[in-house]
Every structure is written in C-alpha cells, then in structure tokens.
Chains A and B, each alone.
Chain A
Amino acid sequence: MKKDKLIAVLLAATALTTLSVQPVLAQAQEDSQKQIERYRELLADGNPAELVEARGETLWKQKRGPKNASLEACDLGLGAGKVAGVNAVLPRYFPDVDRVMDLESRIIYCEITLQGFTMDELTKRPHSLNPSERQTDHEALTVYVVGQSRGAKVNLSQSHPKERESYLRGEKMFFFKGGPYDFACATCHGVDGQRIRLQDLPNFQKADNAQRAFTTWPAYRVSQGAVRTMQWRLLDCFRQQRMPEMVFLSPASIDLITYMGVKGKDGIMDAPAIKR
C-alpha cells in the first residue's frame, strides 16, 4: 500500500514532464481510455454505495446518542429537517455558528447538538481503514445525505462575506506550492489532459471538469471496496502532494471544498458515484 503510494507520486513527477510529449503513447492511451470509459459505464448500474446509503438512512432516522434523538431535525442549510438537495448548496454560511461549513462538518455539528455526542468521539476515526472493515457511521450518514441530492444543480451561495472569503482562501490554497516536490493542487489539477497511470485528473479551471469532480463525490472506490467522502478525497490529495496531513474538517479543507463547489457551479449532483 505505502509503496504503491510512493510509486504514484514518483510517477506523477515524471508523468507530468514526459508522457505528454509522446504522440504514439498518446494514441494508445486514447484507445485504452475509451475502453476504460466502457468499463465505467458497465459498472454504473449496481453501485455498492447504495448499501451504505441504506444503512445511513436508518442511522439518520434512528434515535441515538446521550440525548436519544434522531438527526431528522438537523438543519443542513435548507432548513431544519430538509435533506433533499443540500449537497448542491454546501459549503455555506451558517449563522448559528457564524462560519462556513461543509456537509461533513455540519452532520457532525448536528450529532453533537442534537444527539449529545462529543467532537472527540465523532472525529477520532471518521473513515474506515480497510475493505474488511465496516464503513463508519460518519461515512454512512454522509453518503445517505449526499444521495438525497441526486439531480440537484450545484449552486453555492457567495453572498455572505464569509462565503466569499472561504472561496478566496480556497483558491489561494489551490495554487499554493508546497511539499518536497513543490506541488500545488493546480500542478495536477490545473492542466488539461493531465493523467497519472490511467487516471484523468480534473482541471478545475474548466467548468465541465470541475462539475464532474464535485458532483461525483462521495464515491465508492472499487480499489478500496469502500465509499470515500470528499474530506477523505482531500486528505488523500494532501498526501499525494506530500503536504502535512490535512486535519479532518479543518478550515483549509472546507475552503478547498468551497472553491471546488463554486468552480463546479451548475453541475448536476450524481453522487455517490463509483470510481476505480
């Protein structure tokens, strides 16, 4: 696993400079890319994420925690109790906490305020670690809520100053170079046709790329046999970038999601998706 990661990073470093200038390889890659597209299409119907979604729905409606309450009264940004469509407007500003929150932060906020759980217990181990492990409650809840936004058009509010600031900080971070390779998110995600192994890397400067990336997370990762959330996605890209570990639910993570969400405006939510 670790070695694999290292190879991915090293490949990244070389792929960026060499692969794109070899036309023969490019043609072969185009053909295989078509085949991969077909593979993905064949997988689309029958996404195991639905199993996690179903569990998340049960959890959402179940009375849990010290306060023995369900999450049904949770305000995710479209009013208390409203779940449909929320992922298309998050992250957004919440007056009750006077800051911008992404979906995962808000769900945890509701588990704390409505159900009486503590931040520590909820954030100690938000992601399941290996395929033989059951998905965490956090993953199940997130996937359930996101699934209720299928078909909704992405439209993050940018009217509150804190929403605007979050976007601008996210943009700055996206282009900030750091780590041993001096990579920014934009190094891998700001160029057209960038690819590592067979993975197309979305270029967030292009609306359709940004839309696809934003609207398909969380996703069932075939390679991991598990659903992964957007917070996990960022955590993993921080690792790819060899940056210090991203803190779960940190302001940096929320700002980056805000940035990607604004860039993905008008995309149609289609998560949880299924990815390699």
Chain B
Amino acid sequence: MEKLRRLTIKAGSSFAVIAAAISAGVLPASAFAEWNKAAFDAKNMNDVLKAMGGGAAEKSGDIAITAPDIAENGAVVPIAVASKLANTQSIAILVEKNPSSLAAQFDIPPGTEPNVGTRVKMGQSSNVHAVVKAGGKYYVATKEIKVTLGGCGG
C-alpha cells in the first residue's frame, strides 16, 4: 500500500485560529456557510427541494448513481453520483425512507468534477435519489437499494 503523507494543522476549536486562517486565505470564508437545517429536517424530496430554494426536480438520464443493488449492511451504503449536466452546481443524496430524507449535499465549485461519493445509512430498503442543481435548475435520478440489515439503531 502506498504511504500516505499526512500533516496536521493544529486547529483545535479556537475561533482565533480559524479567523486567522480565513484572513490568511487558507480557508475561504464561504467554508462556514450555514448548515441548512430545514433541508436536513425535511421528510420528503419536495420539502428538501423547497428548503434548498428550488421547485420540482426534473428526471434526468445525465445523472449516474453508482451504488450496490443490495447492501449487506444498511449502516454503510456506498453511493457515488456523477452528473453530465452542464454547469452542475451541487449534488444532494436523499434516502426516501429514512426519517429525514437528505443525507448529504455537496457544492461543486467550477474546476471540481461533478462527481462525488460518500457512504450513507439506510434504515430499510428504499429509493435513493440524486438531486443535481445545474444551471439554476434541479434534476433527479433514482435507484432502489435493498438492505439486508437495517442501519439505524443497532
């Protein structure tokens, strides 16, 4: 295995350090944009879209979801989303049957590939939606994932 080079900046939780980092240009100020509580509390896709400031999402074949058809353990379900839509601005991953739908949202600045991956918890078999904002509009692709062992609780 390749050796990972890793350096650690002493960040601690001191605001002064962060403030200094921002003014020194290490971190962009936008890095600390408000966490969208309303979107993460929403129970379905429409409410998530509303909380993000969007309307309905249009189905799109230009969004690819890479994920297993069956997940052995709902606690860890790998999901990657790739968008071929021009001017992709953000990618969100929603699990329909979770207590709250939205799992994660990624903002894609220019220069970053519209292709992200993470792992999410699924309490049961469910549709997973990838919602992409591109050119100011919302698009969605959906994939069903079966879970053999629920990922909430135990």
How far is it, in angstroms, between the C-alpha of A147 and the C-alpha of B3 when the chains are bound? 11
Q: Known contacts A35-B69, A42-B68: does B75 contact A225 (CB below 8 Å)? A: yes
How far is it, in angstroms, between the C-alpha of A276 and the C-alpha of B154 when the chains are bound? 13
Instruction: Report how many residues on chain A are interfacial, defined by Cβ distance under 8 Å.
Output: 22
Q: Known contacts A54-B6, A223-B149: does B72 contact A40 (CB below 8 Å)? A: yes
Chain A contact surface mostly: helix
In the complex, residue of chain A having the shortest beta-carbon distance to the beta carbon of B66: A42
| CB within 8 Å of B: which A186-240 residues | 197-198, 222-223, 225
**B1 CB–A CB distance under 8 Å:** yes
Cβ–Cβ contact B73 & A222, under 8 A = yes
Can you spell out 20 A-B residue pairs with CB atoms less than 8 angstroms apart? Answer: A1-B154, A32-B70, A32-B148, A35-B68, A35-B70, A36-B72, A38-B69, A39-B72, A39-B78, A40-B72, A42-B78, A43-B76, A150-B1, A151-B1, A198-B72, A222-B75, A223-B73, A223-B149, A223-B154, A276-B72
Beyond A1-B154, A35-B68, A35-B69: 15 further Cβ-contacts under 8 Å? A36-B68, A38-B69, A39-B68, A42-B66, A42-B78, A43-B78, A46-B78, A197-B148, A198-B72, A222-B73, A223-B75, A223-B149, A223-B154, A276-B72, A276-B73
Interface, chain A (partner B; CB < 8 A):
1, 4, 32, 35-36, 38-40, 42-43, 46, 50, 54, 147, 150-151, 197-198, 222-223, 225, 276
